[in-house]
Structure 1
Amino acid sequence: MASVHAIPSIEERFEFTSGAKRNLLIGGAIGLALIIIGAFLLANGSGHEAAHGAEHAAAAGADHGATAAQHEAGAAGGHGGSSWMTRIWANIWLNAVYFTGISVIGMFFMSYNYLAQAGWSVVFKRIPEALPSFLPVTGAVMLITFFLGGHDLFHWTHEELYDASNEGFDAIINGKKGFLNTPFFLIRLVLYFVGWYFLWTVLRKASLEEDQIGGLTNYDKSVKYGTAFLVFFAVTSSTSAWDFVMSIETHWFSTMFGWYTLASWHVTGLAVITLMVVTLRERGYLKAVNHSHLQDLGKFVFAFSIFWTYVWFAQFLLIYYANLPEEIIHYKERFSGYGGIYRAPFFINLILNFFFPFLVLMTRDSKRTHSILKLACWSIIVGHYFDFYNNIMPGTVGANAGFGPVEFGFILVFACAFIWFVSAQLAKANLIPRNHPMLEESLHHDIA
C-alpha cells in the first residue's frame, strides 16, 4: 500500500489482455442476443401493447385535462403497431445520452483541475483522460438514431404541428420552431460532439507529449484548452440537455433542467472515475494512489450526490409550489400516469442517488474503504440510469415502457463497448503521467 513516505515506482502500464477483450466480446454478444430476443417478444406482443398504450395515454389526458397532456401522451403511446420499435429507439437514445454524459465528464474533470492548477489528482489523471474516447461512438449512434427513429422519439418533428390549416396544429410547439427544427437540431448535435472531442484530442496529445519531453509548454497548453472547454461546456451542457432530453416532452420545460442534467452527468462520471481507480488499485495498478486520494474522490462523490439532490428538489419544489398545469404534468405522469409504471423508478432514483450514498459516505473512514466506495459508486451509476430512464421513457414510449431483455441487452452492449474503448485508451500510455509538473505534489498528497 502506498504512503506519503514510501513512493512506489511511477512506471506502470495497463495491460488490456486478450482475456479481457474476449470477456467484453462475450458480454456484448449476450447483450445483442437479449436485444434480439426482446425485440422479437415486443414485436409479437405489439398489438396488445399498443392498445394498452393508447388506453393509458387517453386516461392520462383525461386526468390532466390539458392540451399539453394529450399531445405528449399521444406522442408517447399513440404509434400503434410501431410502439415496440419506438421502445427500441428509446433505449438506444437513453443509453447514448447516459454514456455521453459519463464520457464528457472525464474531460470536464480534467479541465477544472487544470484551471484550478490542482495537483492532487495527477496520479490517476489518465483515467478521466481516457473516458472521452467513447464520444465518437455515442455521437454516431445518436445521429443515426435521430435519422432513423427521431420521428418516433421527438414529437416536434411532426410537420402537421406547424401547419395552421391542419387539425393537428400546435401553437405552443409552433412557437418553438426557431430552435426546435431538424436542420438546426442536427447542426447542434454535430457541434456538441465535434467540439467536445476536438478539445479532448488537444489535451490528450499534450498529455502524451508531456510524458516524452517534460517542461511546462504542454502543461500551459492544457490549461488554456481546458479553460476553453469549460467555457464551451458551460453553454453546451445546458443546450445539449434541452435537445437530448427536455425536447422530448415539447410542451414542458424547466429553466433548471440544464443544471439538473449536468449534475446528474457529473456525479455519475465521478462515480465511474472513483470505481475505476479502486478497481485498478485492487488489481495491482496505481500503487501511488493513497488513502488521501481515495478520501478526496469519496468527498467529490458525496458532495455532488448532495448537489444533484439539491437541484432535483429545487426544481420539484418550485413546480409543486406554483402548481401550474403545464408544469406539473411532468411529475403527474411519473407519479400516477400510465398506470403508475414510473412510480417505482422515480423513488428508486432518489434512494440510490441520495439516501444510500449519503448514509454510507458520511464518515471519514468510509471514503478510504474500497468496498464502501464501490457500493456507493455502483449505487450512483445504477441510480442515475434510472434518472435518465425516468426523464426519457414517459415522453417516448409512455405506457409501453418496462424492464425486459431489450433494456438489459442495450445496457450490456453499451457498457462493454464503453469499457473496451476506455481500456484501449488506458493501454496507450503510462498510467501515471511521468513529467507532469505537479506529479510530486500528487505523490505526497496527504490530508490526514
Structure 2
Amino acid sequence: MSPSSTVPVRDLTKTGIPTLADIGDRLQGGAWTFVILGGLLLALGLVLQAERGWANLLLTAFNLACVGLGGLFLLAIQSITGARWSDPILKAHRAMPALLPVAGVLMLLLAYGAAVLYPWARPGADLDPVLHGRLAWLNTPFFFGRVILIFAAWIWAGRRLARQGRGAAAFILIFALTFCLANFDWLMSLEPIWSSTIFAIYGFSGMFLQGIAIVTISAIVLRRVGLIPAVSKAQNHDLGKLLFAFSSFWAYIFLSQFLLIWYANLPEETGPLRLLLQAPWVPLFYLNLLLNFGLPFVLLLQRKAKTSETVLLATCAILLVGRWLDLYLQIMPPVLRGAAPAFGLPELGGILLQLGAGHLACWPVFMKDVNPSQELPQAD
C-alpha cells in the first residue's frame, strides 16, 4: 500500500465522529459546572435556610455513599457466587466505589452543622430527659470519630475488592455491621427518641435497589459509547429482573416497618410517621410508594420490557428520583420540625453536586485502559 493511501490516526477526528476523548472532555466540563454550581447553591442555602442547607448536605453525602456501597455489594455478591453473567458490566461496579471518599469528606463537613441537624448536639442537650442515657453514644467527637472509622473501613475493603478482586466475604461482613451503624447514627438519631429494629434493613433495600439502577444505566450508556460492547439483551434482562425483584423487596420492607409501627402504636416508634401523615407531607408519602414500587412494577412486568434499553433507562431514572425522595422523607420532617416540605436552592444544589461529583469520580475509572482516540460505535 502506498503512503498516500494511508490515513493517519489523527485524521479520524475530521470525519465528524466524536471520540471517547471528545465525549470525556465535554462531560468533564459539564460535571465541573454541576459541582461548582451545586456547591454554591448549597452554600447559599446554608446561609439563608440553615436547616434545609445542612439537611441537604447530609442527604447528598449519604446518597453518594449508598451509590458507592451499592456497586461494591453487587461486586461482592457476584464474586462469592462465581456469577459469570455480569462479567461484561464489572467495569460499572468497579467505578462506583470512587464516590466513597467524596461522600466521606461531605459527611465530615456536617461537624459544622451538627447542632442544626441533631438534637443531641445542641447546647443543653444533657438537660433534656429524652436524651438522658443516650449522650454517651450520641456526642459530637464520638459521632464523627465513628464517621471516620466507617468510611476508612469502606474505602479499604472496597479498594481491595474492586482492584484486586479479593476479600468479598470480609467486605460483606464489614458492610453489614457498619451500614447498620451508619443508618442508626446518621439518620435515626435526627429524632433520638424514635426507634425501629427494621430500619437498617429498610435502608439496605433502598441502597441495593439504587445500586442496581446505577449499574443498569452505566451498562447501557457505556455499551452505547463502546466502553463495554459485550453487554447484550441477556445482561439487560438479568438487570431488569433484579430491578423488578428488589423494587418489590423494598416495598415489602416498607410495608413491614409501616405495619409494625402502626399496629404497636408506641410513642417512641410513631414519630416519623406522624409527621409524614400530616397534610403537607401526605402527597410525598404516596409519591414515594409510586416511584419506588408502583411504576417500576408496572413498567417491568412484561419480559420484553426487561430487555428494552428505553424501558430500563426510564425505570432506573424513576427509581433514582424515588430514592432521593425516600431519603428526603427520612431526613427533612424531623429537621424541619413539622414545617411544610419545600424544594428550592438547597435541594437543587445537592442534586447538582451529586450528579457532578458522581461523574468526576467514576468517569476516570470507566476510561482506564481505554484508547481515548477510539471512535464511538455506530448505532445499531
What TM-score does the superposition give when structure 2 sets the normalisation length? Answer: 0.87
Q: 1:150 aligns with which of 101, 107, 114?
A: 114
* Deviation larger for 230-239 or 380-389: 230-239
What is the CA deviation profile of residues 188-218 of structure 1, one whole-angstrom value per residue up to 9, with x for unaligned ones?
2111110110112222332xxxxxxxxxxxx
Does residue 1:101 correspond to 2:76, yes or no?
no
Does residue 1:255 correspond to 2:194, yes or no?
no
1:271: which partner in 2? 213
CA contact (8 A) 2:114 2:140 kept: no
1:370: which partner in 2? 309
Q: 1:176 aligns with which of 134, 156, 161?
A: 134
2:318: which partner in 1? 379
Does residue 1:204 correspond to 2:204, yes or no?
no
- May I ask how many residue pairs the two structures share in their alignment? 351
CA contact (8 A) 1:87 1:400 kept: no
In structure 2, distance between residues paired with 1:243 and 1:372: 37
CA contact (8 A) 1:87 1:401 kept: no
Describe how 1:33-48 pairs up with structure 2 within 5 A: 34-35=41-42, 43=48
2:238: which partner in 1? 296
2:267: which partner in 1? 325
Q: Secondary structure at the match of 1:176?
A: coil
Does residue 1:92 correspond to 2:31, yes or no?
no
Does residue 1:280 correspond to 2:222, yes or no?
yes
CA contact (8 A) 2:67 2:99 kept: no
Q: 1:19 aligns with which of 26, 48, 64?
A: 26
State the Cα distance separating 1:393 from its structure 2 match. Answer: 0.5
State the Cα distance separating 1:159 from its structure 2 match. Answer: 4.6
1:61: which partner in 2? none
Cα separation, partners in 2 of 1:181 and 1:39, compared to 1, 3 Å? closer
Letter in 2 for 1:139: G
What is the CA deviation profile of residues 373-419 of structure 1, one whole-angstrom value per residue up to 9, with x for unaligned ones?
01110110000100000000011123164101221122112211111
CA contact (8 A) 1:272 1:377 kept: yes
Describe how 1:331-410 pairs up with structure 2 within 5 A: 331-336=273-278, 340-398=279-337, 399=339, 401-410=341-350
CA contact (8 A) 1:95 1:410 kept: yes
What is the CA deviation profile of residues 397-444 of structure 1, one whole-angstrom value per residue up to 9, with x for unaligned ones?
23164101221122112211111110012112359xxxxxxxxxxxxx
Q: 1:421 aligns with which of 358, 361, 375?
A: 361
Does residue 1:114 correspond to 2:56, yes or no?
no
Q: Secondary structure at the match of 2:314?
A: helix
* Deviation larger for 24-33 or 351-360: 24-33
1:442: which partner in 2? none
CA contact (8 A) 2:79 2:168 kept: yes
What TM-score does the superposition give when structure 1 sets the normalisation length? Answer: 0.75
Q: 1:312 aligns with which of 254, 267, 271?
A: 254
Letter in 1 for 2:326: D
In structure 2, distance between residues paired with 1:149 and 1:110: 34
State the Cα distance separating 1:317 from its structure 2 match. Answer: 0.4
Describe how 1:4-83 pairs up with structure 2 within 5 A: 15=21, 17-32=24-39, 34-35=41-42, 43=48
State the Cα distance separating 1:32 from its structure 2 match. Answer: 4.3
CA contact (8 A) 1:242 1:258 kept: yes
Q: 2:179 aligns with which of 216, 219, 237?
A: 237
CA contact (8 A) 2:244 2:300 kept: yes
Q: Secondary structure at the match of 1:17?
A: helix
CA contact (8 A) 2:101 2:151 kept: yes
CA contact (8 A) 1:291 1:368 kept: yes
Structure 2 unpaired stretches of 5+: 1-18, 372-380
CA contact (8 A) 2:223 2:230 kept: no
State the Cα distance separating 1:14 from its structure 2 match. Answer: 6.3
Does residue 1:185 correspond to 2:150, yes or no?
no
In structure 2, distance between residues paired with 1:37 and 1:149: 14
In structure 2, distance between residues paired with 1:35 and 1:248: 20
What is the CA deviation profile of residues 254-282 of structure 1, one whole-angstrom value per residue up to 9, with x for unaligned ones?
00000000111110111011011112222
In structure 1, distance between residues paired with 2:155 and 2:106: 15
State the Cα distance separating 1:26 from its structure 2 match. Answer: 2.7
In structure 2, distance between residues paired with 1:259 and 1:86: 27
Q: Secondary structure at the match of 1:180?
A: coil
2:102: which partner in 1? 137
Does residue 1:161 correspond to 2:125, yes or no?
yes
State the Cα distance separating 1:240 from its structure 2 match. Answer: 0.7
Cα separation, partners in 2 of 1:283 and 1:96, compared to 1, 3 Å? same
Q: Sequence identity, in percent?
A: 32
Letter in 2 for 1:158: R
Q: What's the RMSD between the two structures over aligned residues?
A: 1.9
Letter in 1 for 2:131: I
